[in-house]
Amino acid sequence: MAASSDPFRSSFLYRTPRLQLLFVAPVISLLVMFSRTFARPTPLALVPGCILEHGPFATRSSRGANRSTRALRLFSEGSDCTTASTVSRQEKISSPWTDPQLSERSKRKRRGNTRFRQHVNPLSRKYQQETDLSEKWPQDVFSDCSKQLHIDIGCGKGGFLLDLAKQEPKDGLDSYNYLGLEIRPLVAQYARDRVAVHHLQGKLDYVGCNANVDLSRVLRLYQKAALARMDDDNHNLRLTRVTIQFPDPHFKSHHAKRRVVTPQLIDALAVYMPTNAVVFLQSDVQSVLDDMRLQFRERAVYFEDMLESKNDYLSENFLGVPTEREVSVLDKGLPVYRAVFTRTSELLLPATERIIQDVL
């Protein structure tokens, strides 16, 4: 039979399929790579009412697509921005504590599983905003704002304050209003919904906020409302008890800046707490308690540690009402570390004088 006239068909490569694969596959891969690199994406038409069906945004993650959709919505409503990314950056971050779905999600939690997300980043942009309070707060939630105030910072689901507020009037406990602050929006809503269930309206409230952002504003509003009800002593500060219990430990060293007890928070407490007011700290993580304690000890001019040595801890909860976390830890036979500070008579000047003048 005559030899083929095609030189490639008679070559060794043509007659060896395995070598064909080794030669052709890299060429195909290179062609695909160059086609993806130099291919121009379908332009995104920024016109009112356009839908993200084509172009590069259609292949992005759901988060990117949602962001682009919001950008297009703003553009269609009359924004003067020229690109979707610019519109997205200029969009205002909504407050995490005003989500209209929080109430419904809280109801589902009450009906079923009550486990919540344990950690949030308090330094993220959405948690650096001031929380939304009603124009009449706190008069619309407390029946008598002249009562002393107990604040639980990082109150969680609110069980501690619920138990404390339900105690029989003794040892002056009936003279208190109770306020819980919680940064996790859904947890704060869950705690707020429990107030009516336990018939504690008028003496207990929960506010979703970042304490390091909103504490001074919350205390100023309460102090102003208290002075409006008091006729004898306009300098009688009402914040007489603060509890900070089992805060998020943030074990990693570069996350330590996220911890709740900061110099700014301590100074805010010093402005609004009268002499002999009490700050109660406790945690099942010794390093966390020691860090909170050190922060207060560094401001010994305003807060005095009831224990002389920093290596000593209170053996019992002097309030007599344990938190849910405290019960769980003690049931496991693990230790709880506690410390108590009292407010000295030293005023934080000129802040205290300025605050008093503002609320009068």
| Token couple for 107 | 């109801």
**Distance between alpha carbon 344 and the CA centroid of its chain, in Å?**
30
Are the beta carbons of 281 and 293 closer than 8 angstroms? yes
CA distance 223 to 359: 7
With tokens 């130099």, the residue in question is: 38
CA distance 55 to 45: 9
Residues acting as catalytic residues: 248
Are the beta carbons of 249 and 289 closer than 8 angstroms? no
